[in-house]
Amino acid sequence: MKPDTRRETVAGPAGAIVCAIDEPALADGAAPRGLVVLCHPHPQFGGTMDNKVVITLARAFVQLGYRAVRFNFRGVGGSAGTWDEGRGEIGDALAVIAAQRARSPGLPLALGGFSFGGYVAAQAAAHLAVSAPVERLVLVGPATSRFELPATVAADTVVIHGEADEVVPLLSTLDWARPQVLPVIVLPGVGHFFHGQLTLLKNQLIQAWHP
């Protein structure tokens, strides 16, 4: 994403997981506002941590003062293992989260994902809800029509969906959100991949995230 993006690996349940880490601009001695771990779209359809939507989310969080951590699921871009239909991929996310929390135990940790990554992020957040809940969750075009997201997520979860999403129909996400009375930010005329609207996506996330 940037010339100073740091690449590293962490141990995962299927072997090494490749990560990319971007730091916010900080005054000397200052700590980031928090950490965010971001999950990429479906590996079977070309999804990687370098997906432009995931990079846009990372840029938004860096601007918000967070250390942004992206990673490749098992079998993608140097990460060990093979596709596990979503089950093992949740384990990959939990391994990255654990590694980042161990490295910076005092920092709040947020979690986010795009499309399939939204499903993984929501399931990982649910897994952690009792023992070590994440600060907040962001779901962009979550794969509500293709994977089973938790029936409920935290009330302050940020959900952003394109009105013209051709991969995950907006109606599917509204149907999932409605019983929770969970607001959904709808971007008019925008498709699943936010073509030409990445700046809008970034700005919407920043606006929604500010306390």
**What pLDDT was estimated at residue 4?**
87
Specify the CATH number for 6-23+32-209; select among 3.40.50.1820, 3.40.50.1370, 3.30.70.270, 3.40.50.720. Answer: 3.40.50.1820
Show pLDDT as tens, one digit a residue, over the chain (211 residues). 567 899 999 999 999 999 999 999 988 888 899 999 999 999 999 999 999 999 999 999 999 999 999 999 999 999 999 999 999 999 999 999 999 999 999 899 999 999 999 999 999 999 999 889 999 999 999 999 999 999 999 999 999 999 999 999 999 999 999 999 999 999 999 999 999 999 999 999 999 998 6
- Domain spans of the chain? 6-23+32-209
What pLDDT shows up at residue 101? Answer: 95
- 184 burial level (CB within 10 Å; 0-12, 13-18, 19+): middle
210 alpha carbon, distance to own chain's centre: 17
DSSP 3-state of 137: strand
Supply the pLDDT for residue 201. 98
CB 195 within 8 A of CB 164: no
pLDDT for the residue numbered 2: 66
Taking alpha carbons only, the member of 117, 116, 138, 128 closest to residue 61 is 138
Q: Give the pLDDT score at 211.
A: 63
Given this model, what pLDDT does residue 60 score? 98
Q: How far apart are CA 201 and CA 193, in angstroms?
A: 11
Give strand pairing partners of 39: 113
Cα(1)–Cα(168) distance, integer angstroms: 26
How far is the C-alpha of 195 from the C-alpha of 68, rounded, in Å? 22
Q: How is residue 135 written in tokens?
A: 């600060």
Q: What is the predicted pLDDT for the residue at 29? A: 80
β-strand partners of 7:
20
